[in-house]
């Protein structure tokens, strides 16, 4: 009987300690918004979601390996590219350099680029980049494309994009670069001048519904940091997941602990016989 | 470590699913026997219970090993690891929704098993009584805790399948509602499992045991 009493008291004390000891994971820190919370439509001054920073160093295309510079470039989570979905961009003197990371078995990934906040999906005359082959239409895209409404996108007559497709485990990657200013009017190319803002709309073979999130990028003159300790996009994902995990485990512990305590209490009082 | 996580998950998932099936069988055989529908001996129920117990021990060790190999796998750490490697594995997992889901629900599954284990230890160690001699509600809660833990573990393995191969066979079953990619269908699964528990408790409430001396064994 004494053991049972101690057991019941012990359970109650554990539940009490768990309640008192629990602290909200980021309650004392500044809350970090998810990237998806910064959405369009935007007002007169567009909210910049992503800055394309400067570095006087172009990536090497054709070496079939991922350039080390990407360790210093902020990642933007792109859900359309699958569970590994990520975009990284930076610029140098002549080129805009990019890395798309996606789930390896996705046949194609792409982005539509626009100037205005009311960019429609596959808007007629808008610019874009698509890499890969559509399983629906036997067309391979090598980067530079333009849209003619809901028609199958056209490859530019002049492909201003160089790229290589890489793979690491289950991750596929497209490392690419394009001239900042191409002056390719037939390809409806967007010109990335310093200080200009552009709208990006992502799609892939796995996800290309009409309603998708878009982001605003700024072609900046600021330079890349020497070292990227943690990417803002990944940090916010990380914080949110840690918070979810800790909260779930905490409440399950409380629930099951209370249930066990109640059963022992009922048993002690012979209520379940 | 990549090569070790995939085979490691098979042991604990198999062991816990077998333990759960045996426990459910023992629960219903015992339930029906005490209401004179079937006649199964206490020894047979004890044998089933013992098998489940052994499977549960194998399963618990397996879950811990699979969790360790999983964290080391995602940290890219060697077999001889340090706490820093585990911490990096945790950090890397939390950067990915699917891996965070796997970590969370593995721990919740272990909590369910710890709860069932706690009940078992209380009755068998502190009171020296059989769990299947207790009130049917206690038995139902014990069985449901094991079943829920196993469902969560199967979901964790399915999420691993999606992570590694982009798809899982669970996506073709009603259980897909527990997968993060089908979150909008989770209500159906919760309603079904909750409904089954409610039905069991309802049955227990309105179907009393036969008098002890009248039970055929």
What is the number of H-type helices and E-type strands within chain A?
Answer: 2, 12
Return the pLDDT at A19: 44
Supply the DSSP symbol for B174.
G
Residue A264 has its nearest CB partner, among B91, B111, B122, at B122
Give the CA angle between residues A67, A70, A71 to the nearest 5°.
115
Out of B108, B118, B163, closest to residue A248 by CB: B108
pLDDT of residue B134: 87
Inter-chain CB pairs, A–B, below 8 Å: 71
pLDDT digits (tens, 9 = 90+) for A252-272: 999 999 888 888 888 888 776
B5: closest CA of chain A, how far (Å): 15
A3: Cα separation from own chain's centroid: 54
Q: Is A34 on the interface with B (CB under 8 A)?
A: no
pLDDT (0 to 100) of residue A42: 39
Contact A272 B135 (CB under 8 A): yes
Cα nearest neighbour of A79 on chain B: B97
Closest residue of A to B118, CA-based? A260
Secondary element (H or E) of residue B15: helix B2-33
Contact list, A263 vs chain B (CB under 8 Å) = 119, 138, 141
Asked if residue B27 lies in contact with residue B139, where contact means CB atoms within 8 angstroms, the answer is: yes
Nearest-CA distance A170 → chain B (Å):
7
pTM over 0.90: no
| A83 to B98: CB separation less than 8 angstroms, yes or no | yes
Contacts of A165 (CB under 8 A, 6+ apart): A131, A132, A172, A173, A174
Report how far residue A190's alpha carbon sits from residue A263's, in angstroms, rounded to the nearest whole number.
68
CA A78 to chain B, closest CA, distance in angstroms equals 12
**Cβ-nearest to A244 among B104, B114, B118:** B104
Taking the C-alpha atoms of residue A154 and residue B174, their distance in angstroms, rounded to an integer, is 42
C-alpha span between B61 and B55 (Å, rounded): 10
pLDDT at B5: 78
Which residues, numbered 85 to 114 in chain A, qualify as contacts with chain B under a Cβ-Cβ cut-off of 8 Å? 103, 105
- Among chain A residues, the shortest Cα distance to B134 is held by A273
Within 8 A of B112 by CB-CB distance, chain A residues are: 252, 256
CB contact under 8 A, B112 and A272: no
- Least CB-CB distance to B104: which of A3, A245, A256? A245
* Residue numbers in B near A272 (CB within 8 A): 134-135, 137-138
Cβ neighbors of A38 (< 8 A, separation 6 or more) are A47, A49, A215
Q: How far is B143 from chain A (nearest CA, A)?
A: 14
Contact B134 A245 (CB under 8 A): no
Q: What is the ipTM of this complex?
A: 0.80
pLDDT averaged per 10 residues, chain B (length 217)? 69 89 93 86 90 91 88 74 81 80 91 92 89 88 90 88 74 80 76 85 81 67
- Report the distance separating Cα A94 and Cα A92, nearest Å: 6
pLDDT of residue A29: 36
pLDDT (tens digit, 0 to 9) for every residue of chain A, 273 residues total?
Answer: 455 555 555 555 555 454 444 433 333 333 333 343 333 343 456 688 889 999 988 888 888 888 888 888 888 888 888 877 889 999 998 999 999 999 888 889 999 998 766 777 888 888 999 999 887 777 888 999 999 888 888 889 889 999 999 987 778 899 999 999 998 988 899 999 999 999 999 999 887 776 676 888 999 988 888 766 555 555 556 778 888 888 889 999 999 998 888 888 888 887 766
Give Rg (Cα) of chain A.
26
**Paired tokens of B207:** 């179907």
CB–CB contact B145 A256 (8 Å): yes
Nearest neighbour of B115 by CB, restricted to A241, A260, A267: A260
pLDDT score at A30: 37
**Given A7, A241, A248, which is nearest B97 (Cβ)?**
A241
Residue among B103, B141, B163 minimizing CB distance to A83: B163
Q: Locate the chain A residue with the closest alpha carbon to B115.
A: A256
Residue in chain A lying closest to B120 (CA): A260
Mention every residue, 6+ apart, whose C-beta is less than 8 A from residue A261: A8, A11, A12, A15
Is the Cβ–Cβ distance between B165 and B192 less than 8 Å? no
pLDDT for A267: 84
Q: Which residue from A minimizes the CA distance to B95?
A: A238
Task: Report pLDDT digits (tens) over A2-43.
Answer: 555 555 555 555 554 544 444 333 333 333 333 433 333 434
Residue B150, H or E segment:
helix B136-165
């Amino acid at each position: 009987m004494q053991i049972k009493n101690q057991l019941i008291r012990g359970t109650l004390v554990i539940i009490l300690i768990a309640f008192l000891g629990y602290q909200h994971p980021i309650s004392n820190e500044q809350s970090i918004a998810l990237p998806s919370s910064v959405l369009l439509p935007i007002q007169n001054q567009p909210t910049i979601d992503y800055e394309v920073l400067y570095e006087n160093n172009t990536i090497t295309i054709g070496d079939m390996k991922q350039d080390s510079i990407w360790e210093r470039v902020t990642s933007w989570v792109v859900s359309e590219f699958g569970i590994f979905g990520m975009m990284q961009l930076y610029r140098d003197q002549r080129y805009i350099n990019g890395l798309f990371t996606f789930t390896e078995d996705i046949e194609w990934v792409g982005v539509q680029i626009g100037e205005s906040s009311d960019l429609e999906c596959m808007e007629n005359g808008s610019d874009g980049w698509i890499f890969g082959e559509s399983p629906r239409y036997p067309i391979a895209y090598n980067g530079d494309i333009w849209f003619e409404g809901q028609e199958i996108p056209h490859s530019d007559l002049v492909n201003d994009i160089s790229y290589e497709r890489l793979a690491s485990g289950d991750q596929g990657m497209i490392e690419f670069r394009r001239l900042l200013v191409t002056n390719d009017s037939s390809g409806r190319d967007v010109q990335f001048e310093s200080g200009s803002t552009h709208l990006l709309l992502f799609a892939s073979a796995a996800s290309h519904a009409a309603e998708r999130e878009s982001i605003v990028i700024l072609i900046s003159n600021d330079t890349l940091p020497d070292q990227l300790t943690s990417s803002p996009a990944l940090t916010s994902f990380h914080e949110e997941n840690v918070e979810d995990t800790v909260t779930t485990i905490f409440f399950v512990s409380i629930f099951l602990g209370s249930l066990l305590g109640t059963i022992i209490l009922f048993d002690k009082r012979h209520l379940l016989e | 470590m990549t090569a070790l996580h995939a085979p490691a998950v098979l042991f604990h998932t198999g062991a816990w699913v077998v333990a759960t099936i045996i426990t459910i069988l023992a629960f219903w055989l015992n339930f029906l026997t005490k209401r004179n529908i079937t006649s199964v001996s206490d020894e047979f129920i004890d044998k089933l219970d013992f098998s489940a117990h052994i499977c549960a021990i194998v399963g618990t060790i397996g879950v811990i090993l699979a969790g360790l190999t999983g964290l080391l796998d995602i940290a890219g750490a060697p077999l001889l690891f340090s706490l820093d490697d585990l911490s990096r594995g945790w950090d890397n997992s939390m950067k990915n929704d699917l891996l965070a889901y796997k970590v969370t629900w593995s721990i919740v599954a272990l909590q369910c098993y710890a709860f069932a284990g706690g009940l078992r230890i209380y009755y068998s160690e502190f009171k020296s009584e059989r769990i299947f001699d207790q009130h049917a509600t206690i038995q139902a809660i014990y069985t449901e805790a094991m079943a829920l833990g196993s469902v969560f573990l199967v979901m964790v393995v399915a999420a691993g399948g999606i992570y590694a191969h982009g798809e899982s066979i669970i996506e073709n079953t009603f259980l897909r509602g527990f997968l993060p990619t089908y979150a909008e269908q989770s209500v159906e699964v919760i309603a079904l499992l909750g409904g089954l528990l409610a039905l069991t408790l309802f049955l227990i409430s309105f179907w009393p045991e036969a008098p002890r001396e009248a039970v055929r064994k």
